[in-house]
Structure 1
Amino acid sequence: MTPIEAAILYAGLFIILFILLKVNVGRVRSAEKIIFGDGANERLQRAQRVQGNAVEDVPVTLIGIVGLGVLSAPVLLIHGLGALFLIGRILHAVGLGGSSGGSPGRMFGTLLTAIVMLVTGVSCLWFALF
């Protein structure tokens, strides 16, 4: 597998994750009979927040991972970042989706996300400059 193929693999996996998060919002919206907005419904607010948080963090990090693929970074680095990022986002989604308070999933998901974002950013700088 080439670096760009590895990077695009994670783009595809995150597209599927985004679809699942979107379907979950629709499922909760339908179950709670809320057509527009959040109806001050905590369950719907959590589902929307899970999706919104992914929208905030995933695109910029995926741009970096795809950039690493374009720069021919090691495939192992791309797989490591992509897999850890996906695990982190799933942990966060499950943790926040299940409780509006703190949870291990949310905590570890946030931590993994931050670490992957930092390593991706530094790696992009490294492979672009050296």
Structure 2
Amino acid sequence: MMLSPTPDTDLPISCAGCDDPRVEELVRDLLTRLADRWTLLTIENLDAGPMRFSRLRERLPGVSQKMLTQTLRQLERDGLVARHVHPVVPPHVEYSLTPLGHSLGEVVCGMWQWVMQNGDRMEAARQCFDARVKETV
């Protein structure tokens, strides 16, 4: 995959051969969403199956009710999470990944696999860099 600079930022975002501004906008939006603190953890937890809000919150230490609500709403808006309200009193709400959400989870899993294969090399490169920087200071 060859990345090329975008016209407005000089940042390499779009893949070579993809000049569709709509695709670029969606990729930027998705990268922003995935880079937030709770999105990937939410997707990872929901990969195990449907979950109630309270259970999901228990599995995400440090997330506030407000932030988890915002994350779930955005994932639902993007079509990655489904919200199912069971008609009982009190209401019973479950969240689950949609097929689209599962497919994104598979792609993101590739990043974990890459780190497992290359993490040692990356850490060694960081140590070399840090040592060089220390010498120049």
Greater per-residue strand proportion:
2
TM-score, normalised with respect to structure 2: 0.27
Greater RCO, 1 or 2 (C-alpha within 8 Å, sep 6+): 1
Larger radius of gyration: 2
